[in-house]
Amino acid sequence: MKISIAMATYNGAKYIRDQLDTLARQSLPPVELVVTDDGSTDATLNIVEEFSAEAPFPVRVFRNTARLGYEENFLKAASLCTGDLIAFCDQDDLWVEQKLSLCARYFADPSIQGVVHTGQTMRESGERGKFYPWFPRTRVLDAGEFDPFAESPGFSIIFRRDLLNLADSEGRHDRVKSHDNWCWLLASSAGRVVTMADVLVLYRQHEANVFGVPRKRTIRRVIREGVRAQQYTVEKDSEAFCAHVLEGAAERDPNRAQALRRSARKLRYRSMLHRIRTSIYAQQSSFFTRAARFARLFLLGGYFPDRTNARLGFRRGTKDLFFGVSGLYKLVAPSRPVQPKTSHE
Average pLDDT over residues 308-323: 88
Domain layout of the chain by residue ranges: 3-204, 219-331
Q: Where are the alpha helices (DSSP H) in 25-133?
A: 44-52, 70-79, 99-104
Average pLDDT over residues 157-178: 93
Of all helices (H) and strands (E), which one includes residue 158? strand 157-160
Average pLDDT over residues 199-224: 65
- How many CA atoms within 13 Å lie on the side-chain side of 26? 27
Average pLDDT, the chain: 89
pLDDT confidence of residue 215: 53
Q: Which CATH superfamily is 3-204 part of?
A: Spore Coat Polysaccharide Biosynthesis Protein SpsA; Chain A (3.90.550.10)
Residue 272, SS3 per DSSP: helix
Between residues 222 and 89, the one the model is more confident about: 89
- Distance (Å) of CA 106 to CA 132, 195, 281: 21, 11, 44
Alpha-carbon distance of 108 to 265, in angstroms, equals: 28
pLDDT confidence of residue 320: 92
pLDDT confidence of residue 337: 46
Average pLDDT over residues 181-203: 97
Share of the chain above pLDDT 70, in %: 88
pLDDT at 77 over 50: yes
For the entire predicted model, the pTM comes to: 0.87
Residue 173 binned pLDDT confidence (cut-offs 50, 70, 90): confident
At 200-209, the pLDDT tens digits run 999 998 665 5
